[in-house]
Amino acid sequence: MEASIQTDVTKQVKAAPILISLLLGCFIGMFSETALNIALPELMKQLQVGPTTIQWLTTGYMLVLGILGPVSGLLLQWFTTRQLFIASLSFSTLGSLIAGLAPNFEVLLAARFFQAAGLALLLPLMLNAILILFPPERRGAAMGLMGLVLTFAPASGPTIAGLIIEKLSWHWIFWISSSVLLIALITGIIFLKNISVITRPKIDILSLVLSTIGFGSLLFGFSKAGESGWGSMLVISFLMIGVLALILFTWRQFSVASPLMNLRTFRYPMFSLSVVLFIVVMMLLLSSMLLLPILLQNGLGKSALQAGLLLLPGTLISGIMAPFMGKIFDKYGPRRLIIPGLILIGVTMFFFSTITVDSSTMFIVALHCLFLLALSMVMMPGQTNGMNQLPAEYYPHGTAIMSTLQQVAGAIGSALAMTMLAAGQSSYLQDKGFDMSNGINLAQPDPAIFVHLPSSFVFGIKDAFIFAGFMTILALVISLFMKHVKTSEQKTG
């Protein structure tokens, strides 16, 4: 009954303007997640705060996304498409405007929370809209456009922000973002129609509390692990609290009639496989976006702007190819894309692990291009195939799970990458005869160590890429069990 109502509604709307509005908003949101990273050194000087304080501009952003992710499934069932769209774009636009005017760190951090809240609502809304608006045989192409946003927007953040900062100031990152968001908001107000069915299920407060504590603690713990190390009592405490809360949250979801996040979606095998595959791929993507700028700047001596420009070709390739990969998925299914894509990722991880300080920058650029091309072959086809198996009433829960786990995967991948970088760097310098018991003071390094720092960075990053190679093998094994899903719509059509 619900599916037939949605079919009747979608026949009366034009999909293109709705999709454009959602894509514009999500693009700026994902862009904002990484764009500020390149400005952090300048922000520390202007706002007069240290590195442990300034990192909250990215950690806080990710925390809000992770906490609101599970709630998004409930919101999709309580509010109309227009209400959620206007609310999400209003939060994002307001956050960008406040950030552009921010006189101090506290105001800028509050603005980042507003930005993150907007994106947390918009990401599942976009995925849910694609599932409703497009039939399964055309869904891959639309999901390919979403893949463009998920890969191109965060990957282009450092490059575009670097160009803006070079010519203007960090404030213009937010002025430009707010202008595009305002256009998306106006377009959505004019063209966006309500396409979802409102059921307003009962809200389980205990699930809401457990979800907030669980995902919030887990994300904070992983974020701090990359900075403080896994042995920190603060990290261990938050990880234990997070795991315990999520165990209770999982039990609660199976014991109430209207769960906050319906985990029965995992009874569908292709959805479960796609979730695991999506986690691995997002770990690879977000950790590489952290490691490659470090490799180019600290290992090969490039400036922030040069590093951003060198990573631009791969970003453009992923953006161009994502929609085409979606169309190929519609025609041939997931296996013909995912398996070759993962093999190509494994090959690039191997060659990344052979890099030295004497490696050509063009070699690194070529590997980055191949890596992002391969990711576009894997990410959206796998996610689309898994979502296609879910009945329509499970769409809000499936989108909430994907959106939440995207942030968890990013936090885990970044923490593991930084841990391996630090361990490999310390091991390299110890082999050179330096005492590493007190770590490295990068602000005022020992002159004797200074000459070895580029090589130590490259050595540590190589270890991280070796680990990424093993993760790719795990994903490849998972992909062998992937089957092309025939939805109920396709079977009866």
Q: Which residue has the tokens 């519609």?
A: 330
Q: What pLDDT score does 453 carry?
A: 73
Q: Can you read off the two tokens belonging to residue 360? A: 């050509």
Q: Given phi > 0 = left and psi -120 to 50 = alpha, else beta, which region is 301?
A: left
Rounded CA gap, 320 and 314, in Å? 10
**pLDDT per position as a tens digit, 17-75:** 777 777 777 787 777 767 776 676 677 777 777 656 676 777 777 778 777 777 777 77
Nearest Cα to Cα of residue 84 among 45, 128, 39: 128
Between 34-48, 318-332, 356-370, 389-403, the lowest mean confidence (pLDDT) is in 34-48
| pLDDT tens digits along 149-162 | 766 777 677 777 77
pLDDT of residue 240: 92
Distance of CA 452 to the CA centre of its chain: 33
Exposed/middle/buried for 435, CB within 10 Å: 0-12, 13-18, 19+? exposed
- pLDDT tier for residue 8 given thresholds of 50, 70 and 90: very low
Supply the pLDDT for residue 434. Answer: 64
Nearest Cα residue to 172 out of 81, 97, 73: 97
> Could you tell me the pTM of the whole model?
0.74
Calpha distance 265→402 (Å, rounded)? 11
Backbone angles phi, psi at 367, to 5 degrees: -65, -40
pLDDT recorded at residue 6:
47
Which CATH code for domain 2-203+258-436+446-488?
1.20.1250.20
- Give pLDDT tens digits for 293-312: 778 877 787 776 777 788 88
Count CB-CB contacts under 10 A for residue 431. 11
Rounded to the nearest angstrom, the gap between the alpha carbon of residue 76 and the centroid of all alpha carbons in its chain is 20
One-letter amino acid of 409: A
Mean pLDDT of the chain: 78
Instruction: Look at residue 490 in the predicted model and tell me its pLDDT.
Output: 47
